[in-house]
Structure 1
Amino acid sequence: MENTAILTGDVVNSRAIAPQQWMPLLKETLFHFGNEPKEWEVYRGDSFQLQTRPALALTAALTLKATLKELKGLDVRIAIGIGDKSYDAQKITEANGTAFVYSGQCFQHLKKLNLAIATQNKTFDQTMNLMFKLASLTMDNWQPATARVVKTALLQPEASQVELATLLGKSQSTISEALLRAGYDEINQLLNYYKQYITNL
């Protein structure tokens, strides 16, 4: 059975800002990675679940983080579970399998951390979770303008800085500075490392 990725998440500080402000942004990003409700759902007000390909899971998680951090004071907690989907359903929240179990258990253990992964390979998990901790030192401090640039860059991975500048109505130097502040080169290295090893699980 082919592996799948399940992201379980919730919006941090969701009550501080009216849902009319953040819900459309959240749903727009979720739509980019799948269809509702088969592949994603928002439930209990500020929680969500998303199914995607394992290779895309970290990109999806970081894009969702950048999306919520576009609004000052908001953030997101996400647990990625990689495993099988042994029971399919019309709604993602009613499906089941080891990917769901790993994701759910991982989410329950998220305390101070905002991002973690659980798979059948504990050595891989340890390595990735340490890398997530280090990346979070930068990502947790993204300001709204920086987060918007990161989100756009993650959704348009082939776009040059000039093209990103056009998309966002900014100068190329502003884009360059934002990506530097965001640690975007290092985030890309993290994504490439993840993609390289996730295919071997």
Structure 2
Amino acid sequence: MLYQLEQSLRSITTQRTHWNIYRGDAFQLQLNNPEQLFKTAILVYLHLKASGYELRQSMALGKIDNPRSDIKTATGSAFTLSGQGLDKIANQRFIINIAEQQLDESLSLNLAFVDVLLTKITLKQANALYVYLTKADNSHAAVAKELKTSRENVTKLLNLAHYQLIERFIKYTQQCIQKIIAGSK
């Protein structure tokens, strides 16, 4: 698990992103581009799911009072809220808390639906969806070439993974986060 988690984080994050792994099965990730929060969470989930692992993630939008290159020692509401979310996550795969704001009900409901969709996908569907969401050329033919399978098989896998709904959700959350950030200034 530790190796796969590290590979997932290296594959998905950028140089401007800070992360740490704890106890081999837990990690903390700080994004400098909050609009990418849900997309990054989904990509980490898919990357690990494609390798046979399940994952629960507590996300938070908040301040970082004391930024550090080693985020284990950083402080702020983002870290506090994320930790509180882990305590409450139960059977969900994703939970989010926002500093000084109530979570919008439509965002919460959409997150619950995506949680259910992603929980039900297979390893192959997760892998196909991961490749689709990360490649610049994400045509079904290009994804098929990457996965060394037929275009028809990729289309089937992506449809079963509800790729269009996942993609719409990611765009929706990016807009939601932009509004949240604009409202907190």
- TM over 0.5, shorter chain: yes
Q: For 1:162, which of 132, 136, 141 is the aligned residue? A: 141
Q: Which runs of 4+ in 1 moved over 6 A?
A: none
For the structure 1 residues 30 and 196, does the alpha-carbon distance in structure 2 shift closer, same or farther, using more than 3 Å as the test? same
CA distance in 1, matches of 2:7, 2:124: 18
Which residue of 2 is the match for residue 39 of structure 1?
A: 18
8 Å CA contact 1:34, 1:51 repeated in 2: no
2:129 maps to amino acid: V
Question: How high is the sequence identity, in percent, across the aligned residues?
Answer: 23
Residue 192 in 1 paired to residue 158 in 2?
A: no
CA distance in 2, matches of 1:71, 1:28: 11
Residue 60 in 1 paired to residue 40 in 2?
A: yes
Give the drift of 1:175: 0.9
SS in 2 for 1:147: helix
Tell which deviates more after alignment, 188-197 or 24-33. Answer: 24-33
CA distance in 2, matches of 1:107, 1:157: 33
Residue 94 in 1 paired to residue 73 in 2?
A: yes
CA distance in 1, matches of 2:77, 2:137: 33
Residue 118 in 1 paired to residue 97 in 2?
A: yes
Aligned residues: 177
Mapping of residues 5-84 of structure 1, within 5 Å: 19=1, 23-31=2-10, 32-35=12-15, 39-52=18-31, 53-72=33-52, 74-84=53-63
1:180 maps to amino acid: N
CA distance in 1, matches of 2:128, 2:25: 24
Give the drift of 1:114: 1.2
CA distance in 2, matches of 1:29, 1:160: 23
1:56 maps to amino acid: Q
SS in 2 for 1:65: helix
More strand by share: 1
Which residue of 2 is the match for residue 175 of structure 1?
A: 154
Q: Which runs of 5 or more residues in structure 2 are unaligned?
A: 181-185
CA distance in 2, matches of 1:40, 1:181: 32
CA distance in 2, matches of 1:102, 1:157: 33
CA distance in 2, matches of 1:94, 1:174: 46
* TM-score, normalising length: structure 2: 0.88
CA distance in 1, matches of 2:123, 2:90: 23
Mapping of residues 129-148 of structure 1, within 5 Å: 129-148=108-127
CA distance in 2, matches of 1:87, 1:34: 21
Tell which deviates more after alignment, 130-139 or 162-171. Answer: 130-139
CA distance in 2, matches of 1:114, 1:35: 26
Give me the CA root mean square deviation: 1.7
Residue 105 in 1 paired to residue 84 in 2?
A: yes
1:89 maps to amino acid: R
* TM-score, normalising length: structure 1: 0.82
CA distance in 2, matches of 1:41, 1:68: 16
